[in-house]
């Protein structure tokens, strides 16, 4: 599990963790976060809906592709196996607010990143930043020409590319970078690891894997 820490003021520490194969399939009930607490995961639908999590517990049932919390000690997560896991965060007058985003091509095109940025802004957050996790690279992501045209129409020519075999491809990294820039979100860090090439991660597109790795974020008190 690869973990990033970001200190916000004197009282808060943000922790963002990207799991891999060695941590197990995050869809299984046996998966635990670093301190033994089970993260809150939504039922992901490849859309743009965003839910707010206010407390930890079994009653958190969310159907969406992004979660936001400003509550401490409430780990929230999303699962991926080629799509882009994005952690977004900012500081509000009441303290830090963080989000975890499942960004597949449908969600990106539907505006999931924009909606998260908007909701963070409603909390009074400024200086939004993002950490982008492992995802499938353009060299491995062959994409239908009709759908590619739709994404290019929404995000520009930068998101179109070619696979290693010269076939039309979608550049998810570029798509995320465009959407972050459009929504005034600074790129804090990008993990340049391709899920189709790096065997530490599962890939549904290249290997048909059904397992999922996760991004989990949490606010901790100092």
Q: Which two tokens stand for residue 38?
A: 């089970």
* pLDDT score of 30: 74
C-alpha–C-alpha distance, residues 9 and 12, integer Å: 6
* pLDDT score of 58: 63
- pTM for the complete prediction? 0.95
Task: Enumerate domains of the chain plus CATH numbers.
Answer: 2-221 (3.60.140.10)
State the DSSP H helix or E strand holding residue 206, giving kind and residue range, or none if neither: helix 204-207
pLDDT in tens, the chain (222 residues): 899 999 998 899 999 999 999 998 998 877 776 666 789 999 999 999 999 999 887 667 899 999 999 999 999 999 999 999 999 999 999 999 999 999 999 999 999 999 999 999 999 998 999 999 999 999 999 999 899 999 999 999 999 999 999 999 999 999 999 999 999 999 999 999 999 999 999 999 899 999 999 999 999 999
Are the CB atoms for 219 and 76 separated by under 8 Å?
Answer: no
* pLDDT score of 165: 93
* pLDDT score of 34: 64
C-alpha–C-alpha distance, residues 81 and 205, integer Å: 8
Q: H helices within 92-171, ranges in order?
A: 105-110, 112-122, 145-155
């Amino acid at each position: 599990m690869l973990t990033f820490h970001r200190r916000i003021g004197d009282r808060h520490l943000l922790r963002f963790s990207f799991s891999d194969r060695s941590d197990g399939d995050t869809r299984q009930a046996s998966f635990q976060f670093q301190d033994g607490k089970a993260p809150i995961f939504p039922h992901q639908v490849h859309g743009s809906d965003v839910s707010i999590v206010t407390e930890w517990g079994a009653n958190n049932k969310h159907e969406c592709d992004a979660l936001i919390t400003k509550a401490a000690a409430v780990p929230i997560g999303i699962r991926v196996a080629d799509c882009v896991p994005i952690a977004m965060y900012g500081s509000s007058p009441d303290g830090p607010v963080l989000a975890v985003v499942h960004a597949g091509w449908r969600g990106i095109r539907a505006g999931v990143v924009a909606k998260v940025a908007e909701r963070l802004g409603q909390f009074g957050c400024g200086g939004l930043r993002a950490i982008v996790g492992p995802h499938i690279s353009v060299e491995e992501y062959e994409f239908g020409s009709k759908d590619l045209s739709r994404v290019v129409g929404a995000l520009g020519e930068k998101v179109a590319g070619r696979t290693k075999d010269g076939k039309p491809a979608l550049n998810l990294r570029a798509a995320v970078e465009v959407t972050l820039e459009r929504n005034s979100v600074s790129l804090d860090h990008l993990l340049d690891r391709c899920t189709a090439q790096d065997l530490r991660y599962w890939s549904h597109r290249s290997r048909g894997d059904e397992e999922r790795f996760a991004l989990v974020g949490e606010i901790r008190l100092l």
